[in-house]
Chain A
Amino acid sequence: MNKGEFIEARELCKTYRAGGEDVYALRDVNLTVGRGEFLSIVGPSGCGKSTLLYLLGALVTPTSGSVVIDGAEPGNLSDAGLSRLRGRMTGFVFQRFNLLPTLTTRQNILLSQRIRGLRRGEGLDADEILARVGLGGKMHRRPSELSMGEQQRAAIARAVVHRPAILLADEPTGNLDSANSEMILGLFAQMHRELGQTILMVTHNHDVAKAAERTVQMRDGKIVNNPPSAVRLC
C-alpha cells in the first residue's frame, strides 16, 4: 500500500471571530497523513482538534496556509467541487451521531447515497452495510428509537456506504460506554483492514487513541509532538 502523502497540511491557521477579535483555534499546523493510515488526534478540550479534523476533511477552509487532499486544495474549489470532494472522498462520524431525526436508519443511509451521487451498484449496499454494523433488524427505526451505541453504528454505516478514501471521526466514542466504545473502535479497525481506508480520529481519551497506528497530540492550537513516538503531554 502506498503510504505517501495523501493529506497534507501546510502552515495551517484558523481563526474565529469572538467578542470582536480574532481568536486562533489553530496556529501554524504542519501535518502529513499517508494513504491508508489510521491516525488519532488527541488533546484537551478546546485545543483545536475538531477544527483541524474539519480542515483535513474539507468541511472548513483555512484562514491561511493550505490543505491538500489527494492533490486537490479545498480552498480553491467551487461549491460544487468542494461538495463533490466531501461527498466522494470523505465520510464523517460525529460525537453526537447527527443522524437525521425524521428519517429511519435505512433512509439515513439512502440519503447519504443520494447526496453523494452514487449510481446503482456503486459503493456498498445499504442493507448489507447495516447488517455489517449489526443493525439489520433495526433499519426501519428512527434514530430516537435506537440506543446511543446503535445510533453511532448507524452513523458509521452512513459514513462508509460510499467506500470513502478517508473516514473522519470526531470523538466517536465520546457519548458511549466502554462496551459500545470498543465495538465502534473494532468497526474502525475492521474498515481500516478490509477497505484500506485512511482514518482520522479525534479523541481526548488516550486509551481510545491507542486504537490508531499513529497519534498526534495537540495543545493550544498546535501539534506538540509529531510522531512516530507517542509522548504524553496533555
Chain B
Amino acid sequence: MSGMVWANIRHRKTRSLVCVAATGIGIALLLVLTGLCRGMISEAAERLKKTGAQILVQPRGASGLLAFKGSSLPLKYAPELERIDGVAAACPVLTWTTTIRKVIYVVYGVDLKRYEAVGGKLQLVAGRPWDNPRECLVDTRLAEANGYRAGDTISILGSSFTIAGIYQSGVGAGVYLPLQTLQSSLHLEGMCSLFFVRTARTDAAAVQACAAAIDARLPALTAQILDRYEEIMVNEVTGLNEFFGVITTTALVISFLVILLTMYTTIIERTREIGILRSLGATKGFIVGLVVRESVLLSAMGVAAGFGFTLMAMLWLSRAHPLLTMALTPLAGFKAAMLGIGGGVLGALYPGLRAARIDPVEALLYE
C-alpha cells in the first residue's frame, strides 16, 4: 500500500513538488526566524556569562536588552556592593553601542584591573592591554570582519582610538574602552550602567543567596543571576514569546492549508480510483488511511525541504552577515518537524473523510 502512496506522489510530480516546497518554506521560516532570535539572545547571554561574573546588577526596573544603553548608576554603589556578604568583587561597566561599517557593536567602558578582578583576563590573541586613555581592545570577530590588526586606528563615537590588542570574541562586548574615556566622551562622569559581581562561592545556592542579599540591601538595584539570564531575557523581552507563538502558528497553518488544498483536489481528481478501491473491498478506514499516509509523506518531505532551505539560509547568512548568530538545536528541529507533520495530518482529515464518503457506484458509473 505504501507503494501506492509513493506511486501517487510520483505520478503527480508538479503537485507534490509545489506542496513540498510550500510546506518547506513554512518550516524554514519558523526555523530561521526563531533560530536568529534565539541565537542573538543566547549569544548575548553567553557573552555575559563568559565575563566570568556570576551576577549582573542593574537599576531596578531595567531588564533584558533594553537596559544596555542605560547609564543611571552612580559608581558609589561599587563599595556598597562589595560590603554585602558573599560578594567578592564588583566591577562597574558603562555600556554603549557604536556602529562600524553598518554593524552595531556593544562597547564596554571598564577599568581593566577591576574587570579582571571579577571575571578574569580577556584572552588576547594579538597586541597587549591598553596603557593610555586613547587605546582600546576589539574582539577577533570585529577585527576579522574589518581586517583590523593591533596598532591600527579606528573611530569610535567620533574620536579615534588605537587598537592596543585583539581578544578572543564571545566575551562581554565587541569593544572595550577605558571607563573614564568613555564617561568623559559621553559626559557621564561618575556614572555606569551595570555592575558585574563575582561571588565568593560559586555554587548555585550561594549565588542565589548573594543575589537575594543584594536585592534586600540595595532596593534601588536588581541582581540577576547570569546562569539564568537567557531564560530571563526570553521571558521578559516584551512580546518575544508571543512572537515565537505567531511564527509557530503560521508554520502550522501553512502546512495545514497546503496539505488540505493538495489532498482535497487530489481526492476530487481520484474519485474514480477511490470507487475502484471500494469495489475491491477497501473499508472507509483504509481510504482515510491512504489520504493520511500520503499527507504525512508529503509533509515529511516538506519538513526535509524546510531543513534544506534552513541550511541554505544559514550558509548564506554566514557569508553575507557573519556576525548574525543562529541557534538551532535538535529540539527546535524536532519541534518544527512535528509541527509540519502535525499540520499535514490535520489537513488530511477533511479530505480523508470526504474520500471515505465517496459512493463507489457513483464514482464508477457517473463522472
Chain A interface residues (CB < 8 Å from chain B): 50, 54, 59-60, 79-80, 83-88, 90, 92, 94, 98, 100-103, 107, 110-112, 114-117, 158
Smallest beta-carbon distance A172→chain B, Å? 14
Pick out which of these stretches binds chain A: B42-50, B56-64, B134-142, B279-287: B279-287
Smallest beta-carbon distance B272→chain A, Å? 7
Cross-chain contact A88 with B281 (CB below 8 angstroms):
yes
Q: Nearest residue in B to A57 (C-beta to C-beta)?
A: B279
| In the assembled complex, B268 has its CB within 8 A of some CB on chain A | no
Question: Which residues on A sit within 8 Å (CB–CB) of B7?
Answer: 102-103, 107
Cross-chain contact A86 with B8 (CB below 8 angstroms):
no
Cross-chain contact B284 with A79 (CB below 8 angstroms):
yes
Q: Nearest residue in A to B276 (C-beta to C-beta)?
A: A98
Question: Which residues on B sit within 8 Å (CB–CB) of A110?
Answer: 3
Cross-chain contact A86 with B281 (CB below 8 angstroms):
yes
Cross-chain contact A59 with B279 (CB below 8 angstroms):
yes
Q: How many A-B residue pairs have CB under 8 A?
A: 71
Secondary structure of the B contact surface, majority rule: helix
The number of chain B residues with a CB under 8 A from chain A is 25
Cross-chain contact B4 with A98 (CB below 8 angstroms):
no
| In the assembled complex, B365 has its CB within 8 A of some CB on chain A | yes
Question: Which residues on A sit within 8 Å (CB–CB) of B220?
Answer: none
Smallest beta-carbon distance A42→chain B, Å? 18
Query: Contacts A59-B361, A111-B280; is A102 near B8 (CB within 8 Å)?
Result: yes
Among A92, A100, A107, the residue within 8 A (CB) of B273 is A100
Question: Which residues on A sit within 8 Å (CB–CB) of B282?
Answer: 83, 87, 115
Cross-chain contact A86 with B279 (CB below 8 angstroms):
yes
Question: Which residues on B sit within 8 Å (CB–CB) of A102?
Answer: 4, 7-8, 10-11
| In the assembled complex, B145 has its CB within 8 A of some CB on chain A | no
Question: Which residues on A sit within 8 Å (CB–CB) of B276?
Answer: 98, 100
Question: Which residues on A sit within 8 Å (CB–CB) of B280?
Answer: 86-87, 92, 111-112, 115-116, 158
Question: Which residues on A sit within 8 Å (CB–CB) of B273?
Answer: 100-101
Query: Contacts A100-B4, A107-B3, A115-B277; is A79 near B361 (CB within 8 Å)?
Result: no
Q: Nearest residue in A to B283 (C-beta to C-beta)?
A: A83
Among B278, B284, B365, the residue within 8 A (CB) of A50 is B365
The 9 closest A-B pairs by CB, nearest first: A87-B281, A102-B7, A86-B281, A83-B283, A102-B11, A115-B280, A98-B276, A60-B361, A115-B282
What 1/0 mask marks residues of chain B from 227 to 254 whose CB sits below 8 Å from any chain A CB?
A: 0000000000000000000000000000
Smallest beta-carbon distance A144→chain B, Å? 11
Q: A115 to B3, alpha carbons, bound, how many Å?
A: 13
Smallest beta-carbon distance A167→chain B, Å? 13
Among A85, A103, A117, the residue within 8 A (CB) of B4 is A103
| In the assembled complex, B315 has its CB within 8 A of some CB on chain A | no
Q: A87 to B273, alpha carbons, bound, how many Å?
A: 16
Among A50, A59, A85, A103, the residue within 8 A (CB) of B3 is A103
Residue among B7, B8, B281, B282 with most chain A CB within 10 A: B281
Smallest beta-carbon distance A81→chain B, Å? 10
Instruction: Show 17 residue pairs from A and B whose CB-CB distance is below 8 angstroms, ordered by the A residue.
Output: A54-B365, A59-B360, A60-B359, A60-B360, A60-B361, A79-B285, A80-B283, A83-B282, A84-B281, A86-B280, A92-B279, A98-B279, A107-B7, A111-B1, A114-B1, A115-B280, A115-B282
Query: Contacts A59-B360, A98-B272; is A116 near B281 (CB within 8 Å)?
Result: yes
Q: Nearest residue in B to A60 (C-beta to C-beta)?
A: B361
Q: Nearest residue in B to A80 (C-beta to C-beta)?
A: B283
Among A54, A112, A115, the residue within 8 A (CB) of B286 is A115
| In the assembled complex, B125 has its CB within 8 A of some CB on chain A | no
What 1/0 mask marks residues of chain B from 184 to 195 whose CB sits below 8 Å from any chain A CB?
A: 000000000000
Q: A87 to B282, alpha carbons, bound, how many Å?
A: 7
B residues 274-298 in Cβ contact with A at 8 Å:
276-286
Q: A86 to B279, alpha carbons, bound, how many Å?
A: 7
Q: A50 to B283, alpha carbons, bound, how many Å?
A: 22
Query: Contacts A86-B280, A88-B281, A102-B11; is A111 near B4 (CB within 8 Å)?
Result: yes
| In the assembled complex, B209 has its CB within 8 A of some CB on chain A | no
B residues 50-94 in Cβ contact with A at 8 Å:
none
What 1/0 mask marks residues of chain B from 355 to 367 whose CB sits below 8 Å from any chain A CB?
A: 0000111001100
Smallest beta-carbon distance A19→chain B, Å? 14
Q: A88 to B7, alpha carbons, bound, how many Å?
A: 26
Cross-chain contact B360 with A79 (CB below 8 angstroms):
no
Q: Nearest residue in B to A168 (C-beta to C-beta)?
A: B279
Q: A6 to B31, alpha carbons, bound, how many Å?
A: 63
Q: A115 to B4, alpha carbons, bound, how many Å?
A: 12
Cross-chain contact B284 with A54 (CB below 8 angstroms):
no
Cross-chain contact A54 with B1 (CB below 8 angstroms):
no
Smallest beta-carbon distance B118→chain A, Å? 69
Question: Which residues on A sit within 8 Å (CB–CB) of B10?
Answer: 102
Smallest beta-carbon distance B158→chain A, Å? 70
